[in-house]
Structure 1
Amino acid sequence: MAASSIPKPARSGAVYLRALEPEDLDFLFALENDPDIWGVSDTLAPVSRHALAEYLAHATADFYVVRQLRLVVTTEISSVPVGVVDLFDYDPLHQRAGIGITILAAERRHGYARQALELLKTHARQVLRLHQLYATVGATNTRSLRLFRAAGFRRVGTRQQWLRTPTSWEDAVEWQCLL
């Protein structure tokens, strides 16, 4: 079994993390094509069902090969997804990766993001044996700033005018968590 696979869904409180399944196509299509989150996902255009189907066909590839991992956040085993967590930009020499999280707008404010981050931190430390995680958060994204602080990340800097918005530029706050 590849080191990046999770043999059974990881659970924390009411939240589970599980691998992507082919049945997640409609969920991913809606998520990736939501213009409200394009600003935090570096996306400027819709993603086709075909491209997402191809992605799903290869989503189980080994983390150490593809250097990324996306897991689905659910509230019960095999239930409807409420979001995703991502590890990306894996650096094998320095044993670090970026982390991102998206919870559907209708499912926010239930603590799912915090529980999912704790699960992903545990997986990154115990299974993937990473040394640290980092995140980049828009300076005006107060909910995400609070989330990463509450999840034990330390604010390590600010990049000036780092993120383009529809009308101007926004600073980005850098977060780091030593595992």
Structure 2
Amino acid sequence: MSRPHPFQSKRLLFRAIEDSDDDFLHSVQSDPFAYANSSARLHVPESMAATKRWKKHVIEESILAVVICLSPPELPGQSPEPPIPIGVISLTASPAHVAHHRNSMISVDIVAAYQGKGYGSEAIRWALKWGFQTAGLHSIGIEAFGFNEGAVRLYARLGFKEEGRRRECLWYEGEWWDEVQFGMLDREWREMVKWE
């Protein structure tokens, strides 16, 4: 019986973040619309130095931090094309004094040109499998800003349960918005994948 590749899903490959990824990561971080959907920081133009600080933080503070790559089609008689980086996904690491609770948070960013094609959903499903099955986590959370209605709907559709809402804690485009907190337990994930 062949085992599935641990860093691959149906259409995607997941690889380590490398020093050579700085330009790609900067393209992700400097997209003002994607940044607004993933960061509550005051929105200012992103410098390469800020991107490098973010990269260092993600690598050092995560149990998993990978580049999401699209597998190009293999054409007969041609040498394979390299995978195309389309995003980043990570699972936060807990500080050592609370690591025994086995909780984590997912963060995901997909490049604008590849959004709306199901790649984010596929990457999140892969990260859930890795987190629960490989890392032995008990709970994985994800957050969405209230103005990002697509993310709120997506996370519910993926099986996350709404666990809380920080009311009007985000100031964006001249309005107050909620931060919506979602979570999934390992037993909920196992029950869900049993029927897929």
* TM above 0.5: yes
Q: 1:51: Cα distance to partner?
A: 5.1
Is the counterpart of residue 174 in structure 1 residue 181 in structure 2?
Answer: yes
Q: 1:37: Cα distance to partner?
A: 2.4
In the other structure, the counterpart of 1:82 is: 86
Q: Quick check: 2:58–2:90 contact (8 Å CA) kept in 1?
A: no
After superposition, residues 31-46 of structure 1 pair within 5 angstroms as: 31-39=28-36, 40-43=38-41, 44-46=43-45
Is the counterpart of residue 101 in structure 1 residue 108 in structure 2?
Answer: yes
Q: Answer with 1 or 2: which has the greater Rg.
A: 2
d(CA) in 2 for partners of 1:36, 1:52: 16
Q: Quick check: 1:22–1:57 contact (8 Å CA) kept in 2?
A: no
Q: Quick check: 1:133–1:176 contact (8 Å CA) kept in 2?
A: yes
In structure 2, relative to structure 1, the CA distance for the partners of 1:121 and 1:23 (3 Å cut) is: same
Q: 1:128: Cα distance to partner?
A: 1.7
Q: Deviations over 1:15-43 (max 9, x none)?
A: 12211122211111111122212322234
In the other structure, the counterpart of 1:18 is: 15
Name which of 97, 105, 120 aligns with 2:127: 120
In the other structure, the counterpart of 2:145 is: 138
More helix by share: 2
Equivalent position SS for 2:27:
helix
Q: Quick check: 1:22–1:56 contact (8 Å CA) kept in 2?
A: no
In structure 2, relative to structure 1, the CA distance for the partners of 1:81 and 1:38 (3 Å cut) is: same
Q: 1:58: Cα distance to partner?
A: 8.2
Q: Deviations over 1:74-94 (max 9, x none)?
A: 111841211111212535131
In structure 2, relative to structure 1, the CA distance for the partners of 1:153 and 1:48 (3 Å cut) is: same
> Where in structure 1 do 4 or more consecutive aligned residues deviate above 4 Å?
50-61
Quick check: 74-83 or 47-56, which moved more? 47-56
Bigger RCO of structures 1 and 2 (CA < 8 A, at least 6 apart): 1
Which TM-score applies when normalising by structure 2? Answer: 0.74
Which TM-score applies when normalising by structure 1? Answer: 0.81
Amino acid of the structure 2 residue aligned with 1:32: Q
In structure 2, relative to structure 1, the CA distance for the partners of 1:163 and 1:80 (3 Å cut) is: same
Q: Deviations over 1:37-62 (max 9, x none)?
A: 2322234344443454566578765x
Structural RMSD (CA): 2.4
Amino acid of the structure 1 residue aligned with 2:91: L
Q: Quick check: 1:17–1:119 contact (8 Å CA) kept in 2?
A: no
Q: Quick check: 1:20–1:59 contact (8 Å CA) kept in 2?
A: no
Q: Quick check: 1:154–1:177 contact (8 Å CA) kept in 2?
A: yes
In the other structure, the counterpart of 1:3 is: none
